[in-house]
Structure 1
Amino acid sequence: MKKYILISLFFLVAMTSCNDDLLDTIPETSIPEEIAYNTPGKILAQTNNLYKQLQNQNYYGGRFIIFNEQRADQFGQNDGNAATGSAVWNQNVASTNDFVNNVWSVCYTAINASNILISKLNGTTVVSEALAKNYIAEAKFIRAFCYFSLIQTYAKPYNLDKNGLGLPLRLTPITTSGNNDLARSSIEVIYTQILKDLDEAENDLPIEYSTPLLNISRAKKSTAIALKTRVYLVQANYDKVISESQKIVSSTVPFQYTAGNLTNKLESNFATIFGGSYTGTEAIFTIPFANTTTETPASQYALAFNYLAQPIIFLTAAGISSDPVLNSSNDARSGLIGTNAANQKVLKKFSITTAPFRDFVPVIRYAEVLLNYAEAAANRDDLSMAKALLTAVRNRSNPSYVFSDAEVGTKDALLNTIWKERDIELLGEGFRLMDLQRRLQTLPAKKGSIGTAPLVLVSSSNYIWPIPSGEISTNKLMVPNP
């Protein structure tokens, strides 16, 4: 049977329009495998296709971030329709749920595309050895990123049971049917592979690309390092969070990273980050949307539609939106909280409220890295560094704010303040669920227009998502979650 590979040639026209080889690529959407990698342009198109997978509307194109906010406790639900994730908000999804199956499918599709690219470029002579290493490193970054999403969604938290059931670890390409059966590796094995991929990616990724858009939308060295700070934080491996952070965070104020022509640092104007198409210094990794019909997320999947245009979900009165920081004109972040006609507080970070919804989606920001570092430093009793990093994040939005002794005077107080700052700074960006689960905390009960969602104990089966029915039906070695 002749093998075929799907190829996306429309990802980020702005990213690749300067490449003549890509523009010369044949227009078919399905081409024989033997010619899919026979020109530099086609190889670049396959590499770009990996990022297109992340842009999927069921993943970081919108819906996956919404799922993580719906499952946590900062948002109430307005819409009882299953299509808008009411069952997700109600903590009541089954293995047959479309969303449960879609996230799994999107991630493993991206993983397989990464595996194919890696296998095809090992030993290739179509592009230079250096460029092949660059592309392979990007594929390893994408593979690690997807496995990290999957392991947090479908397996128990690392700090609860690292020897428990993880995921099928697929590291070789699947290009024909009949290769589905694979048992679940342990949670620790999956995390080990994620970090191995990121370490190897860091080694071979470039320091920078030629344009600001490429720097935020393709993986580079600092992108892999920044993601490692997140992974190690989930593992509570604070020493590694610190050592990785120190690669891209200067030791003194102003905290920043400079290499070649690339600089990463906090944006001076917080609102600028959420201007729709931000490519500035704070963006370490972002999902962009080009001005094409093929890069338009469907309405119900788009962040602005869910947070602001309808809204499907709104900020609960009992959540972080009631904190004085988000209700004071002294803090710039309060400007991204609004009130709708129903007198509900809504998030205005993603502001393109009419179709097409093409807000760039921030995935890794420099502010997160500083907060990851701050938490790790506090846990290792370097309270002065932790306070300095925390203060940098707060003072960016409120230059005159001085933390009180009650907020930062002890290790416990400082950690609680750092966690609150994460809730404020990263609100609506998909972090709250991860932060609750990595600290092994109950998912609190919450209220919405459609009723009350129950609290979820760490020991409850719905603390994580079930293994999708589609995987169970096609993988004979798959064991469901208990």
Structure 2
Amino acid sequence: MKLKLYIFLLLALPALISCKKYFEVDNSDRQTIPNTFSTIEGFRASINGTYAKMYNYYLNSFYLYPEVAGNMVDLVKTGNGTMKPQHDFLSDPEEEVGAVGYIWRYAFETIANANNILEYAPAFIEKNPASKAETELIQAQALFVRALSHFDLCRVYAQPYNYTADASHLGVPVVLINPAPEDPVARQTVKVVYAQIIKDLKDAETLFGNSAAANPYVASKKAVQALLARVYLYAEDWDNAITYSTEVINNSVLAYKEQYSAMFNNLIPGVEAIFRLSGQDKTDKRLGRVYAVNDPTYVPADTLMKLFNDPSDIRLGLFQANPANPARYLTRKWTIGVTYTPNNERYDPMVLRASEMYLIRAEAYAGKNRLTDCAADLKIIIARALDKQPADIILESDNKELLLKRIATERAKEFCFEGHNLFDIVRTKKSLVRGVTTTSATKTVNYPSDYFVLPIPQSEMDANAAMVGNPTVNN
């Protein structure tokens, strides 16, 4: 089965249309899609289906890849589904059933679903003005999803924004209209991809207006602003990163004390969650399984555990000693700690939360050489972790190098197992260095490296005449 990007039009509306093989052409689908978007119920079903598609690519490798390819987890199992090729930087372009193929496939399916909503919404609003407000909120959600999906794809299959001085290196295709089968689809530069991501997010911000967030499982104006803060951070646009992270911080709260572990362990959204994906009614329990305290696939590496130098750190409550080897630890971040039944067992990937906004702003302040402001935000996160007041935290606020090092340390401790590790290493132009507990033959990957990106799936290369592979990894 080929991963022909331009055929994703036929894979739209997962809640309404059965999944097809990539090269099947069924004219009934072409009739079903317009019929679906003739009612507001169709738009509601479609945005729900789009979130489900996004959950697919997060759980089908994306959320795990930057951890497995990073330096904060060790593999204690091998075999199918463990992502060992990614751990060893031996990804195969022919790997369709795994990270290489799955992230590409499911992320572009997500984009295709969002595109259908955005294509049909204007005409629907014109014919149904009474439904304009609700339809525009659905449009805003679709724009957010499309932006996040393009951003995620770019982080996986392209070098970071700052890899070249003008971001002129190859990114990923920008798909705004689902192409016809005969249309070749080319990769755009990273600069072009980011420009479209930012445009989608700003359009979404406008459409959301002053509407309140329904819950963290639905995109909102705050989620849009939080993603803009992250995108601008990656682009090293410090001013805009500060602006948008500040906007979110001013409308958010942090999780303190028992609230902290509760947002991971208690089957609740969490007070600081801005956007996360719902595993409700999903059959994929992979996140809970691979990080399980019983028979895990991935365990915390020594490189992570040695960062915790204060036993009172609240984040240590999400770890436990390994009974089989007390010198090693297990993570409880994705372990359900309350009574549950099979019907309500779920694992909800955290995508955006308030803690990240403080660390984004701290890093952006450092980029602007506003070191006192940088230290102030760092103190808030450290103080929360140690159950202290920010004034009690001592930092060398006049030493930029030490502050940036501390930001990297706090990001590693705060966001471990949440899909950030490799991306943080690469965007800050660091080399990947693994610790003594790693079982991988790949101990170090020096920056820059062609191996810091996945190959473009070979099936896409074969089916799409305009597609270009990544150096080295596609050879």
TM-score (norm 2): 0.85
Letter of the structure 1 residue corresponding to residue 279 of structure 2: F
Cα displacement (A) at 1:141: 0.6
Match among 312, 316, 335 for residue 301 of structure 2: 316
Say if 2:156 is the partner of 1:153: yes
Letter of the structure 2 residue corresponding to residue 89 of structure 1: H
Cα displacement (A) at 1:147: 0.5
Match among 271, 274, 277 for residue 261 of structure 2: 271
Residue 144 of structure 1: aligned partner: 147
Return the alpha-carbon distance in structure 1 between the equivalents of residues 448 and 81 of structure 2.
28
CA distance 1:106–1:189, change in 2 (3 Å)? same
The 8 Å contact of residues 91 and 454 in structure 1, kept in 2 or not, is answered as no
Match among 353, 356, 368 for residue 380 of structure 1: 368
Letter of the structure 2 residue corresponding to residue 230 of structure 1: R
Deviation readout 1:229-259 (Å, 9 max, x if unpaired): 1111111111110111222223xxxxxx1xx
CA distance 1:95–1:115, change in 2 (3 Å)? same
Letter of the structure 1 residue corresponding to residue 420 of structure 2: F
Say if 2:393 is the partner of 1:411: no
The 8 Å contact of residues 216 and 274 in structure 2, kept in 1 or not, is answered as yes
Residue 474 of structure 1: aligned partner: 463
Match among 177, 180, 189 for residue 181 of structure 2: 177
The 8 Å contact of residues 431 and 447 in structure 2, kept in 1 or not, is answered as yes
Pairwise mapping of residues 104-115 of structure 1 onto structure 2 (< 5 A)?
A: 104-115=104-115
Cα displacement (A) at 1:445: 3.8
Cα displacement (A) at 1:110: 0.7
Return the alpha-carbon distance in structure 1 between the equivalents of residues 448 and 262 of structure 2.
41
Say if 2:188 is the partner of 1:188: no
Letter of the structure 2 residue corresponding to residue 436 of structure 1: I
CA distance 1:438–1:102, change in 2 (3 Å)? same
Return the alpha-carbon distance in structure 1 between the equivalents of residues 434 and 384 of structure 2.
33
CA distance 1:446–1:322, change in 2 (3 Å)? closer
Cα displacement (A) at 1:385: 2.2
Say if 2:238 is the partner of 1:249: no
CA distance 1:4–1:228, change in 2 (3 Å)? closer
The 8 Å contact of residues 287 and 361 in structure 1, kept in 2 or not, is answered as yes
Residue 445 of structure 2: aligned partner: 456
The Cα RMSD (Å) is: 2.5
Residue 347 of structure 1: aligned partner: 331
Residue 6 of structure 2: aligned partner: none
Which stretch shows the higher mean deviation, 226-235 or 303-312? 303-312
Residue 314 of structure 2: aligned partner: 332
Return the alpha-carbon distance in structure 2 between the equivalents of residues 334 and 29 of structure 1.
51
Which stretch shows the higher mean deviation, 437-446 or 370-379? 437-446
CA distance 1:140–1:245, change in 2 (3 Å)? same
4+ runs of 1 displaced by more than 6 Å? Answer: 28-31, 353-356
Cα displacement (A) at 1:202: 0.8
CA distance 1:120–1:341, change in 2 (3 Å)? same
CA distance 1:307–1:229, change in 2 (3 Å)? farther
Number of equivalent positions: 435
Percent identity at matched positions? 25
CA distance 1:345–1:29, change in 2 (3 Å)? farther
Cα displacement (A) at 1:115: 1.0
More strand by share: 1
Letter of the structure 1 residue corresponding to residue 240 of structure 2: K
Residue 117 of structure 2: aligned partner: 117
The 8 Å contact of residues 8 and 29 in structure 1, kept in 2 or not, is answered as no
The 8 Å contact of residues 62 and 303 in structure 1, kept in 2 or not, is answered as no
Residue 237 of structure 2: aligned partner: 237
- 2:276 is paired with a residue whose SS is strand
Residue 25 of structure 1: aligned partner: none
Letter of the structure 2 residue corresponding to residue 385 of structure 1: D
Return the alpha-carbon distance in structure 1 between the equivalents of residues 256 and 395 of structure 2.
26
Residue 283 of structure 2: aligned partner: 296
Residue 131 of structure 2: aligned partner: 128
Return the alpha-carbon distance in structure 2 between the equivalents of residues 384 and 439 of structure 1.
21
Letter of the structure 2 residue corresponding to residue 7 of structure 1: L
CA distance 1:474–1:276, change in 2 (3 Å)? farther
CA distance 1:60–1:199, change in 2 (3 Å)? same
Return the alpha-carbon distance in structure 2 between the equivalents of residues 91 and 413 of structure 1.
30
CA distance 1:364–1:348, change in 2 (3 Å)? same
CA distance 1:30–1:348, change in 2 (3 Å)? farther
Cα displacement (A) at 1:75: 0.8
Letter of the structure 1 residue corresponding to residue 276 of structure 2: T
Q: Unpaired segments of 5 or more residues in structure 2?
A: 1-8, 17-27
Cα displacement (A) at 1:185: 1.0
- 1:338 is paired with a residue whose SS is strand
Deviation readout 1:352-395 (Å, 9 max, x if unpaired): 39978512221101000111011111221222322222121122
Letter of the structure 1 residue corresponding to residue 119 of structure 2: S
- 1:7 is paired with a residue whose SS is coil
Match among 425, 435, 438 for residue 427 of structure 2: 438
Cα displacement (A) at 1:64: 1.5
Return the alpha-carbon distance in structure 2 between the equivalents of residues 451 and 320 of structure 1.
16
CA distance 1:55–1:414, change in 2 (3 Å)? same
The 8 Å contact of residues 40 and 135 in structure 2, kept in 1 or not, is answered as no
Cα displacement (A) at 1:207: 4.3
Residue 281 of structure 1: aligned partner: 271
- 2:417 is paired with a residue whose SS is coil
Letter of the structure 1 residue corresponding to residue 278 of structure 2: P
